[in-house]
Amino acid sequence: MSTNPTGLLELSPVLPVVVIEDAEHAVPVAEALLAGGIRAIELTLRTPVAPAAIERVAKEVPGIVVGAGTVTGERDARLAAEAGAGFLVTPGSTDALLDAVAGTGLPFLPGVATVSEAMLLAERGLTELKFFPAEASGGVGFLRSIAGPLPDLRFCPTGGVTADTAADYLALPNVGCVGGTWLTPKAALAAGDFARVEALARDALRGAVAAG
Ligand code: 3PG
């Protein structure tokens, strides 16, 4: 198994989690995020068009690194790799899933929600982790509490993070980036309002820089 640190937490302080319903939206959404300063996105494998969307962004928007999210099994990992994903993100971590994502050779962010899960992954050399679902699992307080006992682990909290809470997470020493869907609201995508996406990206990055 390959090990991280992968550098994924350094790609972008804010990692948009993007759900694409219409493959035609993939490139304009990625371009809008890029125009707003975002350099990496997690495109979720939650819709049938997701692999095609990843493929288009990987080919047509070279300024942005597109990863595949919601990778829950070997088939997802394979589809994402074939589509040209630059990295993989899993919501949780089983042995089989970790073997599958590592088998692609791509860098990946494995999901954890508890101290013991985080320690199990650290035993495998995996120290850059997705903390999911962040808000429901204890949020900022949880991460602050484990920074002392687990100083070598760093996280991308995702799940319930908003424009209002992102800076609180980013101010923690064990947070490398934050993820979430708030930059790409379903209504804005359905309306083709990519200017809104760009504005949300710009605001998110401004907040991230202020958080230091
Ligand atoms: C994820 O897959 O990381 C989350 O579903 C994103 O959660 P959010 O919609 O609360 O940002």
ipTM for the whole complex: 0.90
Q: Characterize the bridge pairing of strands 128-131 and 111-112.
A: parallel
Average per-residue pLDDT in the chain?
Answer: 95
Mean per-residue pLDDT, 98-125:
97
Mean per-residue pLDDT, 20-45:
97
* 97-108 tens-digit pLDDT: 999 999 999 999
Q: What is the Cα 15 distance to its own chain's centre? A: 5
Distance CA 33, CA 189 (A): 12
- Which CATH number among 2.120.10.80, 3.40.50.150, 3.40.720.10, 3.20.20.70 corresponds to the domain 8-211? 3.20.20.70
Residue 2 pLDDT: 43
Q: What is the Cα 59 distance to its own chain's centre? A: 20
* Contact yes or no for 50/24 (Cβ under 8 A): no
Our answer to whether residue 130 is catalytic in this structure is yes
* Contact yes or no for 40/34 (Cβ under 8 A): no
Q: Which of 31, 55, 128, 130 is catalytic?
A: 130
Distance 17 CA to ligand 1 centre (A): 6
Domain spans in the chain, listed from the N-terminal domain onward: 8-211
**Residue 39 pLDDT level (bands cut at 50, 70, 90):** very high
Q: What is the Cα 71 distance to its own chain's centre? A: 11
> Residue 1: pLDDT above 70?
no
Best of 87, 162, 181 to mutate for ligand 1, by most ligand atoms within 8 A of CB? 181
Distance CA 202, CA 124 (A): 36
What's the pTM? 0.95
Our answer to whether residue 42 is catalytic in this structure is yes
